[in-house]
Structure 1
Amino acid sequence: MKLTASFFKEIRDLVLSARATVSRGVDLVQVHTCFEIGKRIVQEEQQGKIRADYGKQILKELSAKLCAEFGRGFSEDSLTNMRKFYLVFKDRQPISETLSRKSKSVRNQLITKTSKEKSETASRIFPEASSPFCLSWSHYVFLIGIRNNDERRFYEIEATSQNWTLRELKRQFGSSLYERLALSRDKAGIRQLAKKGQMVQKPNDFLKNPLVLEFLGLDEQTRYSESELETAIINQIEHFLLELGKGFLFEARQKRFTFDEDHFFVDLVFYNRLLRSYVLIDLKINKLTHQDLGQMQMYVNYFDRYV
């Protein structure tokens, strides 16, 4: 069974419509286009009774024709990703109207929108979508490689709410953010992570255990000083704030305060705007002692009373 002219025309019209809109600054349309292409490929395969050899032949012929007319971007691997994208997210109601019939409305409504407004407008333009797509196609290509549905949903929510770049999404996944947050939660809490992302309701919700600081770029050594670790954190403060989590602002390094005529210095002082509270970090390289804990408690008590 060969590629039919009508099937190729449907895919071709989708690509033409999407390119016309994306050229005017609408990135979201590419994601919906890939979803629709994946859907049509699956439907065409089902007509061929889902024979593996037929599916491969469809992708090969479709890729050749699309690449001949539109150039790069439609390799067999790319079409396979679109097919997988549809299969992974098909629980989100499919777009019933083709983009060719939507393109004029999309152009008028999305061109000047911010990212948040794009998502809201997309919900109106595609009312059938129970959970609109809000990330770039590159984000979704990465997300469909995550097998665990709850974990995938968590990273999609966090990437959307925290405005993660693809690079930051990959770093957070590589640092096992989902697993680290799940360690401190019961089954109900883990399910909430998948449905709502990281919800901040109490101080413990901010904690990641452990923190992953590979971005500091420290050379392999048998020993570091506390000042070297502190300097490395300051040099990568933006990444460190992202690793700490939501709502953190950096205030000071070696924050000095005086108590009972003695001077003390807190290594790093942050403020969390969601907790409306200071967060103090005292860096220790060696094993934590009771004296260290007593000193840190004194720091906390001072900030509670006087700052």
Structure 2
Amino acid sequence: MEPGKSYLNNIKALKSAILQSRYRAATLVNKELLTLYFAVGKFISVKVKEEKWGAKVLENLSNDLQNELPRLRGFSATNMKRMRLFFESWEEHSLISPTLSVQLQAIELEVITFRPTVSDQIENSFFNLSFSHHLEIILNTKSLDEKAYYINKARSEFWSLSTLKNHLNNQTFQKTGKLPNNFSKTISNDEIRQKALQTFKDEYLLDFINIEDADENDERVLESEIVHNVKKFLMSLGSDFAFIGNQYRLIVEEEEYFLDLLFFNRQLQCLVVFELKTGKFKPEYMGKMNFYLSALDEYIKQPHEQPSIGIILCKEKNNKVVEFSFRDFNKAMGVSTYKTSKVLPPAYKGLLPDVETLKKLMD
């Protein structure tokens, strides 16, 4: 006898309650852990400033803690330095809680509270990220706005640590919303327009691409590398993109046309075309893209979907040339650039310490 619909609904309801409970429990555990690390960070920060604690003291402290609590994890000397960094990076934005006793002999684990202007930005996200997520954000951001952006994005889109690192490396915060585009004229829905502006970036880091010098002008090689590493490319694009295919075939009046890369974006509810250009942007690319988008909207787009968007991804661009090229086209388009390496140009080498030197300075 098969279970009835009512019984299956009961199972679904119980399963949902269990999963919600697990999520809430994990969130509470994470909040307690962050509160503890924040408090320990303050304790160490004060001791370093007032009693000149150094690396040796922290090593001895870590060893003694291990002796007192044999199964203790997460309190190595290195991790306690990170706790200090965690506290000091948020010190000016917090209301200095948890507090320490006057004699600094006890640590009171009170709830971390932020100044009202800061709390409005990160209130619902701060305690939902792991300590490792917070460290990556602290080490790779400068302003409060940038920290808040990555904290909120990582929480709302459930970024893994590797995904967060990818977005930090790609400088997503700096590049989001800076894409040269014609969305203001071509996307009438205000909500969709704002989402589109936040979805596409001015520049994409494709450091997973391996193109030999002999092939660097071959667009098919670039396309092949992206398709071969499509998961990493999707991470570079951001959330809600689904890959449909490359060299996607369109037939218009018995003639074939092929789109380099075709995606669907769930948040924008539209098809997105990426046309790849290994050289500098040229105005004539717009006409071809406008044609592709018209054909997609006519033959491929579903009735409930929004009009398609096209992104020309090229090696270089002149923003004024792009601006003039957009005029008089009625399809939503943008022009982004890509780079395949994070290596500094030769002219900038030597101006900054290398990674190992920076690590020693932090220690």
Report the Cα offset of residue 62 of structure 1. 3.0
Residue type of the partner of 1:295? K
One-letter code aligned to 2:137: L
Equivalent of residue 135 in structure 1, options 129, 136, 139 = 129
| Secondary structure of the structure 2 residue equivalent to 1:51 | helix
Give the superposition deviation at 1:84: 2.3
Query: Structure 1 residues 229 and 184 mapped into 2: Cα distance closer, same or farther (>3 Å)?
Result: closer
Mapped partners of 2:296, 2:249: distance in 1:
12
* CA-CA distance at 1:138 after TM superposition: 1.4
Identify the residue that residue 79 of structure 1 maps to in structure 2. 80
Cα distance, 1:274–1:290 mapped onto 2, change above 3 Å: same
CA distance in 1, matches of 2:279, 2:179: 25
Q: CA RMSD in A?
A: 3.6
SS at match of 2:216: coil
Q: Percent identity?
A: 28
| Structure 1 residue 301, shift from structure 2 partner | 1.0
In structure 1, how many angstroms separate the alpha carbons of the residues matched to 2:215 and 2:254? 38
The structural deviation recorded for 1:172 is 1.7
- For 1:286 and 1:57, locate their aligned partners in 2 and report how far apart those are by CA, in whole Å: 54
Q: Which residue of 2 aligns with 1:144?
A: 138
Q: Of residues 251, 262, 265 in structure 2, which corresponds to 1:258?
A: 251
**Does 2:40 correspond to 1:37?**
yes
> 1:143 Cα shift?
2.4
Aligned AA for 2:174?
E
What does 1:240-251 align with in structure 2 at a 5 Å threshold?
A: 240-251=233-244
Higher share in strand? 2
Residues in 2 aligned to 1:219 and 1:136: alpha-carbon distance in whole angstroms = 39
Distance in 2 of aligned mates of 1:288 and 1:38: 50
State the SS of the aligned residue for 2:151: helix
Counterparts of residues 1-307 of structure 1 (less than 5 Å): 26-42=29-45, 45=47, 50-53=49-52, 59=58, 61-69=60-68, 70=70, 73-90=74-91, 91-92=93-94, 94=97, 131=123, 132-145=126-139, 146-181=141-176, 183=178, 201-221=194-214, 223-307=216-300
Q: Is the 8 A contact 1:200 1:206 kept in 2?
A: no
Q: 1:85, 1:144 within 8 Å by CA — same for their partners in 2?
A: yes
Structure-2 separation of matches of 1:138 and 1:156:
12
Aligned length: 244
Cα distance, 1:200–1:89 mapped onto 2, change above 3 Å: farther
What is the CA-CA distance between 1:216 and the residue it aligns to? 2.7
Q: Which runs of 5+ in 1 are unaligned?
A: 1-20, 103-124, 186-198
Higher fraction of helix = 1
Per-residue deviation, 1:222: 5.4
Query: How far apart, CA to CA, are the structure 1 residues paired with 2:282 and 2:83?
Result: 55
**Structure 1 153/299 Cα, relative in aligned 2: closer, same or farther at 3 Å?**
same
Tell me, yes or no, if the aligned pair for 1:215 and 1:236 is still in contact at 8 Å.
yes
Find the residue that maps to 1:284 and give its secondary structure.
strand
- CA shift in 2, pair 1:277/1:65, >3 Å: same
User: What TM-score do you get using the length of structure 1 for normalisation?
Assistant: 0.66
What is the match of residue 350 of structure 2? none
Q: Distance in 2 between matches of 1:31 and 1:127?
A: 9
Q: SS at the partner of 2:176?
A: helix
Quick one: structure 1 residues 137 and 200, their matched pair in 2 at CA, closer, same or farther if it must change by over 3 Å?
Answer: farther
Q: Distance in 1 between matches of 2:53 and 2:282?
A: 67
- Label 1:297 to 1:164 Cα distance change in 2 as closer, same or farther (>3 A): same
Q: Is the 8 A contact 1:88 1:144 kept in 2?
A: yes
CA distance in structure 2 between the aligned counterparts of 1:263 and 1:101, rounded to whole angstroms: 70
The alpha-carbon deviation at position 136 of structure 1 amounts to: 1.2
Distance 1:260 1:65, change over 3 A: same
Tell me, in whole angstroms, the C-alpha distance in 2 between the residues paired with 1:34 and 1:126: 12
